């Protein structure tokens, strides 16, 4: 396959591309053409006006035509100077050619023809030539300096390769020109181990050797594509690949870089063999901006690393999902190990604003101290089998709150805990629950276990058996998020529950229409027919409280009367209420 190159002799070596990137932006070409046209128009005026004998009125004064050539001649010279200022080298060359062709003509007119008006043209021309040379020479120096500063800012000190900034600049330039490219992200396998055992100096030598090898590879066009190698930082490198026809070509290029890296590395007179992980993403198929292109290639590389795959891995959207899952799983494990999973307690009140109790809602703190919401980590915990650990942690803290309150006063307040269906179905669930109650020495009736209707879909028989046991032990049972699942009245009738929790989504729209309000009223009636108490979740306004009071709802849980609170504040409220 022959090399595919853009028209024009651009330099595709790494150095050349860097220079292109650090070059100053020029004005558009049409301004160049306009200045040239103006220059020629002025010159034509000069020669026409010089021969005219008429007079024109300017601001009430009679000005003979043959006085005007000086004005147009200055204007035409100004055009040349602007060409040099705006277009540097091409402007300077054009200006010089025009001056050099015009001057002999003026000299001939002055000396041979004896036309004295040409004298001002000669002096103007000479002045313009000198000014152009001075402007060009000083401009060139400062431009070279600016270019050097920019090139330095784009170069990695250790390896002399372009750095991450240069890679993103190139990608953004290619995206601007809508050119296809692939970005390959590379991470050296076990580089940390190399650094730890052999020392940082040795690690630096590995990086330098690899960088030199790949730079030579890219600059000598040893692949069929046009490649730009950069160091992203640490032991991470990137190759931006252009000039390919199919993804096969990209893979072939990656294979060649991989092969070059895996060859013997000779450092301090010893031989080493190393491997790396490779992930790549393609523009425009995978992403639309350089930021996502880089993070997609990185995600693919990390996925390859996780799977222990040394073959290049192409980015797919699934990889992001996996990455998020793994990252969240890691956070959950760390948080569980460091006691950073705990509940906040949201108060529940009866319709007259008397405290009923609290719902314990799991919170997780990551290593930076950010609170992560259960909406983010509970689904992951369910997937990776960690939800029972979270449930139990929350359960224990809830039992702790009950115990702290009962030690100070007699109360029938309730603390509700959410139990995932997966956890409920585990064989040791009942024993575990009993152990917590025994440890804190509290009556089960102060704890309410919230389950969702989905429990009946997964394994109705076994679930019912479990719930009955819990009920026999004295726990209260609440049906959470009622109305959002596949509610079946017959199932509901079978569950020995105490409380029906109307989901927030119904409360949100309740006051929007008559029918929405009737729907909530119907749920409250169903609950009451089944001899259950009914609580509305996510109540945010006084209007909603009024409607719920009219409908006959028993309890309220929502930001309007209280947000989820830390343990100490909940304890204070429980002791007051």
Instruction: Give the binding site for ligand C2E (CB under 6 A).
Output: 346, 361-362, 373-375, 378, 387, 390-391, 394, 418, 420, 480-481, 504, 537-540, 557-559, 564
In the bound complex, what is the minimum distance in angstroms from residue 147's beta carbon to ligand C2E? 54
Q: Which is nearer to ligand C2E, 91 or 343 (CB)?
A: 343
Stretch that binds Mg ion, among 260-268, 338-346, 446-454, 566-574 (CB under 5 A): 446-454
Minimum CB separation from ligand C2E for residue 178, in Å? 43
From the CB of residue 357, how many other CB atoms can be counted at a distance below 10 Å?
29
Give bridge partners of residue 276 from the DSSP assignment. Answer: 188
Which residues from 403-432 bind Mg ion, rule CB under 5 A?
418
User: Which of ligand C2E, Mg ion, none sits in contact with 420, Cβ below 5 to 8 A by type?
Assistant: ligand C2E
- Output the smallest distance, CB 223 to Mg ion, in A: 57
Residue closer to ligand C2E (CB basis): 286 or 554: 554
Radius of gyration of the chain (CA): 39
Q: Which is nearer to ligand C2E, 87 or 358 (CB)?
A: 358
Select 124 or 346, whichever has its Cβ closest to ligand C2E: 346
d(CA 312, CA 366): 32
- Residue 321 token pair: 């999902």
How far, in Å, CA of 483 to CA of 502, rounded?
7
C-beta of 404 vs 540, nearer to ligand C2E: 540
CB of 537 to ligand C2E, least distance (A): 6
Least distance in angstroms from the C-beta of 191 to ligand C2E = 40
**CB nearer ligand C2E, residue 60 or residue 375:** 375
By CB under 5 A, what part of segment 307-346 binds Mg ion?
Answer: none
Of residues 533 through 572, those in contact with Mg ion by CB under 5 A are 537
Binding partner of residue 208 among Mg ion, ligand C2E, none, CB cut-off 5 to 8 Å per kind: none
Tell me how far, at minimum, the Cβ of 258 lies from Mg ion, in Å.
51
* Residue 124 near which of Mg ion, ligand C2E, none (CB within 5-8 Å, type-dependent): none
Q: How far is the CB of 452 from Mg ion (least distance, A)?
A: 8
Exactly one of 235, 480, 533, 554 binds Mg ion (CB under 5 A); that residue is: 480
CB 366 within 8 A of CB 336: no
Q: Which does 162 bind (CB under 5 to 8 A by kind): Mg ion, ligand C2E, none?
A: none
Q: Which does 125 bind (CB under 5 to 8 A by kind): Mg ion, ligand C2E, none?
A: none
Both tokens of residue 28? 């558009």
Q: How far is the CB of 354 from ligand C2E (least distance, A)?
A: 18
As a whole number of angstroms, the distance between CA 387 and CA 385 comes to: 6
Nearer to ligand C2E, 256 or 540 (CB): 540
Q: Which of residues 236-255 bind Mg ion (CB under 5 A)?
A: none
* Residue whose CB is less far from ligand C2E, 336 or 361: 361
Instruction: Give the integer Cα–Cα distance in Å for 332 and 365.
Output: 9
Q: How far is the CB of 504 from ligand C2E (least distance, A)?
A: 6
Pick one of Mg ion, ligand C2E, none as the site partner of residue 562 (Cβ within 5 to 8 A by kind): none
231 contacts 210 by C-beta, under 8 angstroms:
no
Helix (H), strand (E), coil (C) string for 420-473 = CHHHHCCCCHHHHHHHHHHHHCCCHHHEEEEEECHHHHHHHHHHHHHHHHHHHH
CB of 360 to Mg ion, least distance (A): 9
Question: Nearer Cβ to ligand C2E, position 14 or 548?
Answer: 548
Where do runs of H (alpha helix) occur along 189-316?
A: 191-198, 200-219, 247-262, 290-307
Is residue 450 at the binding interface for Mg ion, with CB under 5 A as the rule? yes
Which of residues 235 and 503 has its CB atom nearest to ligand C2E in the complex? 503
DSSP 111: I
DSSP letter for each residue of 512-554: T-HHHHHHHHHHHHHHHHTT-EEEEES--SHHHHHHHHHHT--
CA distance 251 to 397: 54
87 HSE (CA, 13 A, CB side): 20
Q: How many residues bind Mg ion (CB under 5 A)?
A: 5
User: In a 3-state reduction of DSSP, which class is residue 495?
Assistant: coil
Question: Nearest approach, Cβ of 279 to Mg ion (angstroms)?
Answer: 40
What one-character DSSP code corresponds to residue 4?
P
Give residues with Cβ within 8 angstroms of 294, minimum separation 6.
Answer: 167, 168, 171, 183, 185, 232, 238
CB neighbours of residue 151 within 10 Å: 16
**Token code pair at residue 197:** 């055992």
69 binds, among Mg ion, ligand C2E, none (CB under 5 to 8 A by kind): none
Choose among ligand C2E, Mg ion, none what residue 350 binds, the Cβ cut-off being 5 to 8 Å by kind. Answer: none
Residue window 495-534: x/- pattern of binding to Mg ion, with contact defined by CB under 5 A = ----------------------------------------
- Judged by CB under 5 A, which stretch of 174-182, 266-274, 277-285, 473-481 contacts Mg ion? 473-481
Kindly tell me which of 155 and 418 has the beta carbon lying closer to Mg ion.
418
Q: Using DSSP, how many helices (H) and how many strands (E) does the chain show?
A: 20, 18
Determine the Cα–Cα distance for residues 6 and 207; give it in Å rounded to an integer: 32
Structure tokens at 560: 């309007």
Cβ atoms < 10 Å from Cβ of 510: 22
Binding span for Mg ion by CB under 5 A among 215-223, 281-289, 480-488, 514-522: 480-488
**With respect to ligand C2E, which residue has the nearer C-beta, 293 or 378?**
378
Where are any strands of DSSP class E within 39-129? 55-58, 61-64
d(CA 493, CA 484): 17
DSSP characters for 123-191? Answer: HHHHHHHHHHHHHHHHHHHHHHHHHHHHHHHTB-TTT-SB-HHHHHHHHHHHHHTT--EEEEEEEETTH
CB of 417 to Mg ion, least distance (A): 8
Q: How far is the CB of 246 from ligand C2E (least distance, A)?
A: 47
Binding site for Mg ion (CB under 5 A): 418, 450, 480-481, 537
């Amino acid at each position: 396959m022959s090399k595919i190159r853009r028209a024009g002799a651009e330099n595709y070596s790494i150095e050349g591309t860097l220079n292109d990137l650090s070059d100053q932006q020029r004005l558009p070409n049409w301004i160049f053409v306009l200045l040239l046209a103006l220059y020629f128009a002025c010159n034509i005026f000069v020669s026409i006006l010089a021969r005219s004998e008429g007079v024109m009125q300017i601001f009430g004064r009679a000005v003979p035509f043959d006085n005007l050539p000086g004005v147009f001649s200055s204007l035409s010279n100004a055009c040349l100077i602007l060409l040099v200022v705006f277009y540097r080298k091409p402007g300077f060359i054009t200006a010089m050619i025009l001056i050099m062709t015009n001057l002999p003509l003026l000299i001939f007119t002055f000396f041979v023809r004896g036309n004295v008006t040409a004298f001002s043209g000669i002096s103007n021309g000479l002045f313009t030539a000198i000014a152009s040379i001075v402007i060009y020479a000083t401009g060139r120096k400062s431009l070279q300096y600016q270019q050097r500063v920019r090139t330095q800012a784009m170069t990695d000190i250790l390896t002399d390769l372009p750095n991450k900034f240069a890679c993103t600049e190139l990608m953004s330039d290619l995206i601007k020109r809508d050119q296809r490219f692939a970005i390959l992200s590379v991470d050296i396998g076990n580089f940390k181990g190399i650094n730890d055992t052999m020392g940082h100096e040795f690690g630096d030598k590995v990086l330098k050797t690899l960088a030199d090898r790949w730079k030579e590879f890219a600059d000598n066009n040893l692949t069929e594509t046009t490649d730009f190698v950069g160091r992203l930082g640490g032991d991470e490198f990137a190759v931006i690949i252009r000039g390919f026809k199919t993804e096969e070509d990209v893979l072939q290029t990656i294979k060649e870089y991989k092969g070059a890296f895996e060859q013997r590395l000779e450092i301090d007179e010893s031989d080493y063999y190393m491997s790396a992980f490779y992930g790549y993403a393609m523009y425009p198929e995978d992403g639309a901006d350089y930021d996502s292109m880089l993070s997609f290639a990185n995600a693919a590389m990390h996925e390859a690393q996780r799977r222990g795959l040394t073959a290049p891995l192409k980015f797919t959207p699934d990889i992001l999902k996996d990455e998020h899952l793994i990252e969240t799983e890691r956070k959950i494990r760390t948080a569980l190990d460091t006691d950073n999973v705990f509940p906040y307690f949201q108060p529940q009140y009866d319709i007259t604003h008397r405290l009923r109790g609290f719902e314990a809602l799991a919170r997780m703190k990551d290593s930076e101290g950010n609170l992560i919401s259960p909406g983010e980590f509970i689904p992951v915990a369910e997937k990776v089998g960690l939800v029972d650990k979270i449930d139990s942690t929350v359960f224990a803290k809830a039992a702790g709150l009950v115990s702290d309150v009962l030690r100070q006063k007699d109360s029938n307040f309730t603390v509700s805990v959410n139990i995932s269906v997966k956890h409920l179905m585990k064989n040791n669930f009942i024993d575990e629950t009993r152990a917590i109650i025994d440890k804190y020495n509290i009556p089960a009736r102060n704890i309410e276990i919230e389950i969702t209707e989905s429990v009946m879909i997964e394994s109705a028989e076994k679930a019912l058996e479990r719930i009955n046991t819990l009920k026999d032990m004295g726990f209260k049972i609440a049906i959470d998020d009622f109305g959002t699942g596949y509610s079946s009245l017959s199932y509901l009738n079978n569950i020995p529950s105490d409380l029906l929790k109307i989901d927030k989504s119904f409360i949100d729209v309740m006051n929007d229409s008559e029918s929405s309000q009737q729907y909530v009223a119907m749920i409250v009636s169903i609950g009451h027919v089944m001899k259950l108490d009914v609580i509305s979740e996510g109540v945010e306004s006084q209007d909603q409280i009024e409607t719920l009071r009219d409908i006959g709802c028993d309890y309220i849980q929502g930001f309007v009367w209280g947000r989820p609170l830390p343990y100490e504040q909940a304890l204070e409220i429980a002791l007051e209420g």
